Amino acid sequence: MKKLCLAALALSFALAPMTVKKTAAEELTSCKAAYLCDCGSGVCAYRENETERLPIASMCKIMTLLLCFEEVEGGTLSYDEEIVVSDSAAGMGGSQVFLGSGLSYRAEELMKTIAVCSANDSCVAMAERIAGSESLFVEKMNARAKELGAENTLFANCTGLPKEPQYSCAKDVALMLRELLSHPKYFEFSKVWLEDFAHPDGRTTSITNTNKLIRFYEGCDGGKTGFTGQAGFCLAATAKRGDTRLISVVIGAESSDKRFQSVKNLFNYAFATYESRKIVEAGKPLETKLDVRGGKQKQISVCAERDLSIFCKRGEEVNATAELTLEKGAKAPLAEGAAVGEAILYRDGVEVARCRLLAAEPAEKFSYGDAFREIAGAW
């Protein structure tokens, strides 16, 4: 592999965590725990009891949804698959969409109701389809949490309904939501405000998004609420303005209004104080070229699969470098979009993000006909 380094930006940065202390003059939240971070890099901008183990109610459905999307991505589930609802799924209490036992529903529609109206019956129907039973699905939830590094999380069911032992923390919820947001299809569900859900037997259930911020806060386009008497009012949400996407989590607010206001306060603070500086732009051909053997072209352009940005305070000087590693001995033919290397973003010498480098154009194979025409042209 060939390594190349982009010029460092003239800037310097302190490695201390970006943490804001809550003072009497500045009450950002009124909750048991909170966490605010940049979605792209995961850099923290505010924390409060962020690793305290607490019940999180329906926010555990973030993991339920994540496993659903990963099943689709892995090819073991399709959005169009018809899923037959069991008696146990149809009989779930709490928030639900009133699925009919024995009726079949498209997986996509069930996933949408989980994202929009926190449907417990849809959660169990999907869990039974994916793992065979809710208990086996919960094992998958806990295994995935460990893979993500959620060290203070234990699931007992796929709905968040009270059951011991189960807990998570504000930091882990943000970690799980960040992973869920990597699936673009999620936003098709999370931005729905009000919609009619049609049942196969002709009934219709109106579903309304439990996350009020998608309608009443600029840039908010996803998230998950939660409430039980034990957990209090909880909310994990994401919002994007310009190139900056944030994730905010609050646990244990005293009222629904206070959870929404706390998340708004965190978003307002971060959007006013921080920014994302794009170092490498997705899809834009880089100056560095990939050498290609056996192609009509000796070199082709490459681009980053996604943006690589630095999350920092506005006006702060930052030392950032992007290291590009390209394949050696790449051979034609290469399709446009083929993976040909990797870009790693460093901040003050510490890795903060990485992504694949892709061929920005195709590399066609040099044929005998091309060789003949080349020779003929030289005569």
> What positions carry a catalytic annotation?
58, 61, 118
Closest CA to 29 of 271, 274, 266, 234: 266
Pairing of strands 232-241, 320-326: unpaired
Per-residue burial over 60-94, b if 16 or more Cβ lie within 10 Å, else e, is bbbbbbbbbbbbbeeeebeeebebebbeebbebeb
Question: How many other CB atoms are found less than 10 A from the CB of residue 355?
Answer: 16
Cα–Cα distance measured from residue 35 to residue 12, given in angstroms and rounded to the nearest whole number: 25
Q: CA dihedral defined by 74, 76, 82, 85, rounded to 10 degrees? A: -100
Closest alpha carbon to 86 in 28, 114, 126, 27: 126
Q: What's the CA gap between 88 and 320, in Å, rounded?
A: 53
